[in-house]
Structure 1
Amino acid sequence: MQEIWARIEAALGRIAPEVVAAMPPGATEEEIAAVEAVIGVELPEDVRESYRCHDGLPGVLIGWHDALHSLAAMADDWRERVVDAGDPPWDEREEDGVIRRDVAWSAGWIPVIGIGNGDVICIDLDPPTPERRGQIIDWSHEGWRARYESAGLREFLERFAADLEADRYQVGGTGGARSGGGLPLVMLKD
């Protein structure tokens, strides 16, 4: 994960050095453990390793989503959504073995990136089969449905690093609250 973050930092440094200079330091083991206590699960090692490198990524929209949550934002977002955990889905969906379809929201879906409209990218710690634990899913508030994104945070961030290196991102002015205090906002090119 350190190598992936080094690639992200190098690519961002070419287009938005002030964003790189403002990137938060890594979280401590105590900070990670405190969030795990709040959400009631142990995070996968790739997630823990990523947060040891940087505690979130303000000012950088990943894909068409918002920035990577800090651990505090992760816990806050999870607290807001967990009240819906276990609710039945709005419609009958057939189990597909990839993502749980018997609930509209699971307490084991840990938000890591908001999308700004109520949707969220999550770490799936409650998949239908154990080998899928830690996969990344994209949950939509429209119909309360989720779709598969990647096998884990490592793969998700590797794709992001590759997109940065391929010059698919640009600086799009000052992002205000979305960029973490008026930093330039880094986003996908149209």
Structure 2
Amino acid sequence: MKLSGLLFIIAQLASENIIEACKCVERNDDIKPYNIIQYANDVFSFMTSNSNTSADFENLSIKELWKSLENWYQEYCPDAYKSLGPPITTEELQELETELGVRLPADYKESLLVHNGGGYPLFEFSECYMDHKNVIGEWELMMDVLEDIGSDDCDGCDFENDFPEIRDVFWSSKWIPFTADGGGQSFFIDLDPTSVGNVGQVGSYDHESGVDMFLGKNFHEFFSNYVRDIYCGKYSIDEWGYLSKHRFLTPESF
């Protein structure tokens, strides 16, 4: 039996809710031998814990979510933990909002007040959580590209995306990147949504394809989902020391 099949059985035994078991167990074809036990333990711990439920993560504050994430980093990725920056200062936060010309959402500011960035890829796709200086730099870079194009709407250009909440534009001055991978991929906070979107929603942007993922109706939802997925066993550390997300597992996989 493949290890993925064994993990699925463990999840079934650990929970009466098979649907939740399917949600929390992942394919592990790409998991390296040194962290297979870690992965199995994380899945089993999540499924048997009364405290690690989706609702519990949703109800945690940003500060509490960071504490949970710090604990996981300390255990499995100490380099990421050591890279976390200090809290943003009042002066730095004022500088950030002034340079961007916006009022940032309270949940994102709360995150910066815990850690003003981190020097290690903290999210999937090698996304680094940027400090305020790098947020400004990345935003200015995209604004320069936007100026070269002529406008965010760019007549004749096709920037249509699959998400009705997010405007079909190349880039917006009200999109605030808070991660970057150094290769044109970033997560951004959208302060200029469509009529069916939410101010402060989170999306993913790729320099070749444009908006390619909708990640949450606000930063808190994005972040709580991420921490939940960490504890759900949806991520492991690959051989390069970066977070790797596993493909989804269903009963039909066996």
Q: 2:125 aligns with which of 64, 77, 86?
A: 64
Tell me the SS of whatever aligns to 1:27.
coil
Contact conserved, 2:191 with 2:199, CA < 8 A, in 1?
A: yes
Contact conserved, 2:190 with 2:202, CA < 8 A, in 1?
A: yes
Q: 1:74 aligns with which of 128, 135, 141?
A: 135
More helix, by proportion: 2
Give distance in 1, aligned partners of 2:185 and 2:198: 21
CA deviation after TM superposition for structure 1 residue 118, in Å: 1.1
User: Structure 2: which 5+ runs fail to align?
Assistant: 1-61, 247-254
Give distance in 1, aligned partners of 2:105 and 2:67: 20
Between stretches 109-118 and 56-65, larger displacement belongs to: 56-65
Give distance in 1, aligned partners of 2:162 and 2:70: 40
Counterpart AA for 2:115: H
Tell me the SS of whatever aligns to 2:91.
helix
Tell me the SS of whatever aligns to 2:121.
coil
CA deviation after TM superposition for structure 1 residue 2, in Å: 0.5
Counterpart AA for 1:170: I
1:40 aligns with 2:107: no
Structure 1 residues 51 and 137: CA distance shift in structure 2, 3 A: same
Give distance in 2, aligned partners of 1:188 and 1:57: 18
Name the residue aligned to 1:139: 205
CA deviation after TM superposition for structure 1 residue 23, in Å: 1.8
Counterpart AA for 1:28: T
Percent identical: 25
Q: 2:231 aligns with which of 153, 158, 165?
A: 165
Tell me the SS of whatever aligns to 1:120.
strand
Between stretches 28-37 and 9-18, larger displacement belongs to: 9-18
Give distance in 2, aligned partners of 1:131 and 1:33: 27
Q: How does 1:75-90 map to 2 (within 5 A)?
A: 75-83=136-144, 84=146, 86-89=151-154, 90=157
CA deviation after TM superposition for structure 1 residue 189, in Å: 5.4
Name the residue aligned to 1:108: 174
| Paired residue total | 178
Tell me the SS of whatever aligns to 1:20.
helix
1:14-55 CA deviation, whole Å, 9 max, x = no partner?
Answer: 113343234211101221110110000011000000000001
Between stretches 135-144 and 2-11, larger displacement belongs to: 135-144
Name the residue aligned to 1:178: none
TM-score calculated relative to the size of structure 2: 0.63
User: Structure 1: which 5+ runs fail to align?
Assistant: 174-184
